A and B are shown apart, each in its own frame.
Chain A
Amino acid sequence: MKIVERRFVRQVPVSEAVGWWNQWDHEHTMVVHGESWLEGRLLYEDERTCIAFVTIRVPIFSFLTSTAMNVNLKYDAHTMYTINLGLFGIPSITKITIEEDPPDHITHRTTYTFFLRGWRRLLAPLLPSMMARWNERVWQEDLPLKLRRQKMLRHGFRDFVGMPEKIADRRYDGPLECRLPIKRLPDSPIEKDRLLG
């Protein structure tokens, strides 16, 4: 078996809570990443697991689409894994770590590992550039969300409420948290499609 690995390391001035929110907010994917993320069907989710069918447009070969089953695991406070079986039937594992130091500044590491058997070994030279393109696109599309959410949370924004009424309350210096699963309305499109549970 041939193993192909590609790693991306980024720095961004947001809290770890915002970093994880972006990873686990499944609802934004088809709106913000709609060019490449065509469908998402949530099968199951709890405080550390999410199982979903996703259909993406294949990077570089954009005339191709690929449906995959993703299993996301929040392994510990700073690590998650996505186990994926989809693109050309290739199993892969994506490891994401987010570490906050100093406060409101994170190092975000993504490592893609592909396990290639048989004819799929022929794809080995293509995968690094495909993943570079995918990662860069998704990162750039997500970046303004993270920066804006961080700013608003530091101005006292509360999910499903908005900005505080009093100007004096529009400042928050305390710890930020990301509780999983991310809260959604009962009529969220992604909830309507839930297949299990």
Chain B
Amino acid sequence: MALQRFPLCRRDELERSRVVTRWLDDLRDEVTAVLLDGRIIARSSVCPHFAGEFAVDLAARRFRCKWHAWEFDIESGRCVSNGFKGCLRRYETEEQDGVIAVLYEG
């Protein structure tokens, strides 16, 4: 199956806010893109515990679930607050004409 392209946001929007969270209807997932050291990291931001919503702490480089305070390292996607072994799905991104899109094959 070929990679599909799912537009997420404009580059200038991400540069301004450094964090963009969107539900993408065609991807059927919520994606949070973070600008970290000039790199874009995009991950599924549905907490794998009970589907909670994340707050983003850029200084600590962590996602923190607003429901149960589970924390995930943005770079690795790993849970750092408890023994949960799962990992947040990372999405590849590409930029075209100032638009950042998620690439996914699923």
Residues of A near any B CB (own CB < 8 A): 21, 25, 27-28, 31-32, 144-145, 148-149, 152-153, 155-157, 159-163, 165-168, 170-171, 185-188
Contacts and interface: CB of A to CB of B under 8 A. Distances in A.
Interface string B6-46: 00000000000000000000111100000000000000101
B50 A188 contact: no
Q: B interface, how many residues as a size bin? A: 20 to 34
Contacts of B84: 160, 185
Given A27-B68, A31-B69, A162-B44, A148 B51 contact: yes
B51 A152 contact: yes
Interface of B: 26-29, 44, 46, 48-53, 66-69, 82-84, 86, 88-89, 104, 106
Contacts, number: 66
Contacts of A162: 44, 46, 48, 86, 88-89
Given A167-B104, A171-B28, A152 B46 contact: yes
B62 to A, nearest CB: 15
B69 A160 contact: no
16 contacts: A144-B53, A152-B51, A157-B46, A157-B51, A160-B48, A160-B49, A160-B86, A162-B44, A163-B29, A163-B44, A165-B106, A167-B26, A167-B106, A170-B29, A185-B82, A185-B83
